[in-house]
Copies of this chain bind each other. A is one copy, B any other.
Amino acid sequence: MKMSSASLRAQKHEDKGYDWFCGFAYSPAYGLGPEEGVYRRDPSSIIKVGDYYYVYYTKSFGPHFGHSSKRDMGSKVFPWDHADIWCAKSTDGVHWEEIGAVVKRGTKGEYDERTVCTPDVMEYSGKYYLVYQACPMASYNGRMESVGMAVSSSPEGGFEKLKETLISPQEDGEIFGEEAENINKGMFNGVNHDPMLLHYNGKFYMYYKCCGKSFDEMASFGKDTRWGVAIADEITGPYIPSEYNPVTNSGHETLLWKYNGGIAALINRDGPEKETIQYAKDGINFEVMSQVTCTPQAGGAYRCEDTNSSPLAGLRWGLCHLDERGAQWNCIMRYDIDMRNPYAHAHGYPESNSRSLGRW
């Protein structure tokens, strides 16, 4: 029997099985929805403590002006500039109650003077750890972001910041300069965004998005996002970037979960392998497992207990943000993976889901 190249590839797809395929359905996260003058973005993973689910997210107020405001060092540049980290709780994962800011940006001269944003959360040994992007610069030019950590014995507040950042940007010689404008520059490890923390193999794996691979590419072409991982023996560090970084070649905000002794990752909108789900048996060497569409943006999954029951159990539901063109204010919404028929999702039925919420 003669077989085309595509059919030979299909055999490999079939060998991997179809449990890695899914669709995504979107619905309101009441209480975190659209609000005039308010940005809510970048929800963390969701943890359950007692009767409540908790989520942490970036919140900022008022319009932003992009880099046209660069002459005014204080102007809000991005929706995640001049932001704080807020917390909300819910009993059903659908209706959310805002508790308030739990980590606020620092004061003048501190490593998080300018903004704190894009948090993730982990419960470990009875304490709650937030990791987040922190920026010290007077002018937010998209460089020099660090990863900060704050710790509390309650999920609802009392978070105390560590004195030192967990990961700091590396200024790679001529790549950084006063001319840097709206593009994150630098070799890998130059800037560190969107941290996500997992307790894995007895260590702490902090994945993060890093913008910029090499100066030539960045100068010529625009942004390039990949993920790295930094590993620590203690949850508070020190975190050592893996020698294998970057561990992905694609993906915007990090979204990872544990499965069957390895780490699974949803690689969303950026890069040549955008819109895929990948898996690394060792947390480092990721392979493409499935192709997905209409993926959550800046999503955080519910950290359920049964992540080994199926490949996508750890992705089952969560929150993400809505940051579409034309939407002036960002809001947070809920996603649920659609696993009604993994094979059908692999093969296109039900057809493409929509990130639109319709009536809210």
Q: Residues of A at under 8 Å CB distance from B?
A: 2-7, 9-10, 13, 21, 217, 220-226, 243-250, 252, 269-275, 278, 280, 284-287, 290-291, 293, 324-326, 341, 343-344, 346-349, 351-352, 354, 358
Question: Are A269 and B352 touching (Cβ within 8 A)?
Answer: yes
Number of copies: 2
A269 to B352, CA, bound (A): 7
Q: Which residues of B contact A343 (CB under 8 A)?
A: 217, 220-222
Question: Are B6 and A249 touching (Cβ within 8 A)?
Answer: yes
Question: Are A223 and B9 touching (Cβ within 8 A)?
Answer: no
Question: Are A274 and B247 touching (Cβ within 8 A)?
Answer: no
Among residues of B, the one whose C-beta sits closest to the C-beta of A280 is B5
* Smallest CB separation, A131 vs chain B (Å): 22
Q: Which 9 residue pairs are nearest across A and B when measured between Cβ atoms?
A: A270-B348, A10-B249, A5-B285, A221-B343, A222-B344, A4-B244, A6-B249, A13-B272, A2-B243
In this complex, the member of A21, A275, A352 whose beta carbon has the largest number of chain B beta carbons within 10 angstroms is A352
Q: A290-B272, A344-B221 are in contact. Are A244 and B351 (CB under 8 A)?
A: no
Question: Are A247 and B290 touching (Cβ within 8 A)?
Answer: no
Q: A4-B244, A343-B220 are in contact. Are A10 and B272 (CB under 8 A)?
A: yes
Question: Are B291 and A4 touching (Cβ within 8 A)?
Answer: no
Q: Which residues of B contact A352 (CB under 8 A)?
A: 269
A291 to B267, CA, bound (A): 13
Q: Which residues of B contact A326 (CB under 8 A)?
A: 358
Question: Are B272 and A346 touching (Cβ within 8 A)?
Answer: yes
A38 to B5, CA, bound (A): 40
Question: Are B348 and A225 touching (Cβ within 8 A)?
Answer: yes
Q: A6-B286, A269-B293 are in contact. Are A347 and B223 (CB under 8 A)?
A: yes
* Smallest CB separation, A67 vs chain B (Å): 15
A275 to B295, CA, bound (A): 13
* Smallest CB separation, A249 vs chain B (Å): 4
* Smallest CB separation, A315 vs chain B (Å): 18
Q: Which residues of B contact A269 (CB under 8 A)?
A: 293, 348, 351-352
Q: Which residues of B contact A217 (CB under 8 A)?
A: 343
Question: Are B274 and A293 touching (Cβ within 8 A)?
Answer: yes
